[in-house]
Structure 1
Amino acid sequence: MASLTAAACLLLALEEEAAAQAITAYADAEGWGPDTARLGSVGSAGTWSLERIESLAEEAARAFYIKLQELGWTEGVAAAAAARADASDSTLLAFHLDLVRSYPTQLILAINHVLFERHGYRRQRRHGDPLDSRLSNVLENGNGSPGSLAVLYLELCGRMGLALEPVALEGGRYFVLMPADNAASLSVAGERFVIDPYSEGLLMSEAEICELFEVGEGGLQPCSFATMLAGILTVLRDSHWCAAVGCPPEPLLMVPVSVEVALGEYRDVEVSTSSGEDEAGVPTFRVSFSESPTEAEVPTGRQWWPAEGYHLQRALAAAQKRAWLLPDDLHALLDYALCLYFSKQYEDAWQELGCVLQAAKGEPLEAATFGEREVEQMELLWEKMRLQLAFAGS
């Protein structure tokens, strides 16, 4: 399953890359300047074919067996190392897996050494860069978001025979990894530990993680790989959204994709976007905030996104894929409807929001996804869109 997750992440990256290259070519043709190159980062053939990940796994395997030899293991180690790559000898392969399950900490140390010390993979330098959520860019340049680094770590461990499961934190914006079964234990004195790939593979106790991320009763629970991909798409959507509306990309400071924003009730902020031309005929992309004294209208020739709202469209694409992955998650469906609304696709937004409202009203009261006030706001926005459509058709 881990390989499928990596392949899916590369497919997401491929679409992002294709869109970036297309808009870069268009921007160059329009004379918007060289800064549009920041949108894309073409990877090598080894990156797109997963050969780079396989090479990292081979390197980690060698480091793992060196660590075992340092502990005194010599007999059968070389043969077991060869069996990891060639599964034809089931006895030797079973021996390799037994070593992995018996010494998971040594395996984690080996992977950490290869990834973070030898190759310099590291956490993103700043919030809000869409490139950090593309697995291809992470493999090429080393900077990664919590989700993309977790996928890379998960992939290496899976190829080494250590099955892990992701645990989603902060609404899928952060991930730690835990053993998928009891065959490999990361417990000491009865206390279980998890791996934090974003902190260079640091082992942290479940109690520490629960306190740090305010996880309540029930403790840490593994999530599906679909949920993991949806979390990566959430971060990607946020990055593009913040770039589109010009707000800070930090989670606590960003203007959220919410019904309140659509209705102009969030911090007295009304966000609207439009494109056009100024008096000199220069293409512009306009972002309006009611709390600002004037509208911000910036010539796109000095920006790295074009007048058509490239980032807004990429935010919409990410929200749409997230809705496909989580068809029963009303929050994901609402986010998609709102991104359609902000993209001024009012008819599609009206239909999607109507489906969300219908599902929300059909839920039992004790299991309701939204509160009464939230439903009222959605109904108000739905009616606002209906009037916009009626006005446009008149």
Structure 2
Amino acid sequence: MALISPTPSPSSLALSLSRTAGFRATDCPPFLRSNVQRDWNWRGNGKKSRHGFPSMASQSLNFETIPPCSSNAFLEVAKLAREKLKEEVSLRVKDEDISIAKALLYVAIEDEAILAFNGDEDACSFTEERSNQSTVHLDEVCIGGKSMSGWLSEFDVLTKEVEAELVQREIGCHVVQVIEAVNTVLFESRHFLRFPVLVDSRFSYLHHVLSSNCGTAIMLSVVYMEICQRLGVSIVGSPLGEDFLIWPHTQTPEELFKVSSGHSLLAVINGRCVEDPRSRASDLNSQSLQGLYVATNRDIIGIALANLIRLHWKRASKGNHGLMLISPLRSVNSKDPLLRPVELTLAIMAAERMLLLQPDNWTLRRDYGLLLYYARRYGEAAQELSICMAFAPVEEVEVIEPFVQKLHLLRQIYSLDLEPRHLASS
């Protein structure tokens, strides 16, 4: 769900939230596994280089005020990041006051801390520069070599580059010129590229997107919107099938469809998506555009989190061909699958954050409960699925209720330190 440069890239220029049918789980480098080595890395230009690349947490997380190898420090940082996210997306906060960039950076900090806690190779590479300070301050935690304020300032740097491009062209600040200048900086000067969600976990974390110039569609969309916001151009967006369109908020949407340099302004922002006859966006006009649902800041954060759930679940279940998240509800003779625990933890965390945004979403709560089941947290799974049944349709309740009863039995057996496999496979 992001804009794409009108210039060619290794992937489709259309904005797509979930178009990854051509990618298999085996195409995804398992860099989040602490015991897996990788001998390739994506450069900013999208090419591969043959050299080792440390895991996400090991290369980028740095606590400047905490003793080395402090597991409690990792957990404290994760807790602080979650609390900050709760504050940012709280229902008491107006949607327009929510910072999408801050929220996504809190997500990155929490995930990095949990990865470090789970024992990535360089998790002990932390330094204590101020030994007299025992508490953790989130604004001093660095990911990817920068603090949170440092990453936010990257948007200011990009904005200044766009302003310099406008001055160089000696043109005014009409919205068309601003959009063209943003495209020039992002996709011609900086060579930002879009990759599908399942290619690499890094492309779904904002700080990695800013450092590598590679990201998923939704993350590139966030970058675009943050820059335009600083330039005084309000950008809105809407999910449209598998695409996510963004455009300047305007009272005269018909201007978006006027041809400029052979393309409408909507096409300039969204790449070839609106000109591809296979895309639903190609049928848009000024009137139908007005009828689209405009995504809120919470919606955009939710889409990014949904991508993380999908990504980490795919990687967690990589060794179980055909395993679906809802398989335990539908299969009579299911067996306990062998899942990657760290990836499963990251999927659970993404679901927890998404529930902050959509607490009444029964489908999301069901999926969260099933993730807890796969993690063998049977009591919590039973609780979440019981809450889910209060919101779910009757036909879904009929499927979930027997499974909840099974979870209660599994919890009792686990509390006695017995092996529950005979029940899990019954």
Under a length normalisation based on structure 2, what TM-score does the superposition of the two structures give?
0.60
SS in 2 for 1:272: coil
The amino acid across from 2:114 in the alignment is: A
Tell me the CA shift for residue 242 of structure 1: 1.4
Tell me the SS of whatever aligns to 2:293. coil
| Alpha-carbon distance in structure 2 between the residues aligned to 1:270 and 1:347 | 19
1:120 CA drift (Å):
1.3
Where does residue 189 of structure 2 map in the other structure?
A: 118
1:54 alignment partner, one of 137, 156, 178: 156
- Corresponding letter in the other structure for 1:135: L
Return the match for 1:353 from 365, 369, 385. 385
Give the match's secondary structure for 1:166.
strand
Give 1 or 2: higher helix fraction.
Answer: 1
- Is 2:325 the partner of 1:257? yes
Secondary structure (helix, strand or coil) at the match of 1:204 reads helix
Q: Which residue number in structure 1 is paired with residue 230 of structure 2?
A: 159
User: Secondary structure of the equivalent of 2:99?
Assistant: helix
1:221 aligns with 2:293: yes
How many Å separate the matches in 1 of 2:268 and 2:336? 38
Instruction: Say whether 1:245 aligns with 2:340.
Output: no
* Alignment-mate amino acid for residue 233 of structure 1: L
Instruction: Give the whole-Å Cα distance in 2 for the aligned partners of 1:27 and 1:270.
Output: 38
Range with bigger deviation, 15-24 or 151-160 = 15-24
User: What residue is the counterpart of 1:64 in the other structure?
Assistant: 166
Higher strand share: 1
Matches within 5 A, 1:82-101: 99=173
Gaps of 5+ in 2: 1-95, 125-141, 417-426
Partner of 1:367: none
Residue aligning to 1:23: 118
1:141 aligns with 2:218: no
* 2:61 equivalent in structure 1: none
Give the superposition deviation at 1:192.
8.4
Of 356, 366, 372, the match for 1:324: 356
> What do residues 67-114 of structure 1 show as CA deviations (whole Å, max 9, x unaligned)?
3x2xxx5xxx6xxxxxxxxxxxxxxxxxxxxx3xxx322211111110
Q: What is the CA deviation profile of residues 366-393 of structure 1, one whole-angstrom value per residue up to 9, with x for unaligned ones? A: xxxx472x33222232222123224445
From the CA coordinates, give the structure whose radius of gyration is larger: 1
What is the aligned partner in structure 2 of residue 380 from structure 1?
Answer: 402
Q: Measure how far apart 1:206 and its partner are.
A: 11
| Residue equivalent to 1:389 | 411
Q: What is the alpha-carbon distance in structure 2 between the residues aligned to residue 376 and residue 56 of structure 1?
A: 53
AA partner of residue 367 (structure 2): D
Residue 44, structure 1, aligned to residue 146, structure 2: yes
Q: Are residues 1:175 and 2:247 paired?
A: no
- Aligned equivalents of 1:254 and 1:165: distance in 2? 37
For the residues of structure 2 that align with 1:181 and 1:333, how far apart are their CA atoms? Answer: 37
Contact 2:162 2:185 in 1 (8 A): yes
In the alignment, structure 1 residue 335 sits paired with structure 2 residue 367:
yes
* Whole-angstrom distance in 1 between the partners of 2:245 and 2:335: 34
Distance 1:192 1:271 in 2: 54
Secondary structure in 1 matching 2:294: coil
Change (3 A) 1:177 1:352: same
Shift of 1:159: 0.6
Question: Per-residue CA shift, 1:219-269, capped at 9, x if unaligned?
Answer: 531111111111111111111111111169xxxx974422xx12353xx99
CA distance in 1 between partners of 2:252 and 2:289 (Å): 25
TM-score by length of 1: 0.65
**What is the number of residues matched between the two proteins?**
298
Counting only pairs closer than 5 Å after superposition, residues 284-323 of structure 1 correspond to structure 2 as 286-287=338-339, 309-323=341-355
**Residues 156-180 of structure 1: CA distance to partner in whole angstroms, max 9, x if unpaired?**
111111101231345xx85321333
Amino acid at match of 2:154: R
Distance 2:401 2:122 in 1: 39
Report SS of the residue matched to 1:120. coil
Distance in 1, Cα, partners of 2:391 & 2:163: 49
Residue 366 of structure 1 is matched in structure 2 by: none
Q: Which amino acid is the alignment partner of residue 306 of structure 2?
A: T
The answer to whether the 8 A contact 1:167-1:222 is kept is yes
For the Cα contact (< 8 Å) 1:226–1:326, is it kept in 2?
no
CA contact (8 A) 2:312 2:344 kept: yes
Match of 2:176 among 105, 122, 145: 105
CA spacing shift, 1:209–1:336, aligned 2, 3 Å: same
Once the 2 structures are TM-superposed, how far is the Cα of residue 46 of structure 1 from its aligned partner? 7.9
TM-fit CA distance, 1:194 = 3.9
Partners of 1:257 and 1:313 lie apart in 2 by 14
C-alpha distance in 2 between matches for 1:131 and 1:161: 30
Alignment-derived partner of residue 4 in structure 1: 99
1:231 equivalent in alignment to 2:321: no
Q: 1:184 to 1:220 in 2, by over 3 A?
A: closer
| SS of residue matched to 2:157 | helix
Which residue of the other structure, out of 305, 329, 336, is the alignment partner of 1:272?
336
Q: Secondary structure at the match of 2:144?
A: coil
Deviations 1:317-350 (A, max 9, x none): 0011001111122222222212111111111111
Deviations along 1:274-324, one digit per CA (max 9) or x if unpaired, are: xxxxxxxxxxxx34xxxxxxxxxxxxxxxxx7xxx1111111000110011
Query: Secondary structure of the equivalent of 2:118?
Result: helix
Q: Is contact 1:158–1:164 with CA below 8 Å preserved after alignment?
A: yes
1:364 alignment partner in structure 2 = none
Residue 232 of structure 1 aligns to which amino acid in structure 2?
Answer: A
Give me the whole-angstrom Cα distance separating, in 1, the residues matched to 2:153 and 2:357: 27
SS of 1:187's partner is helix
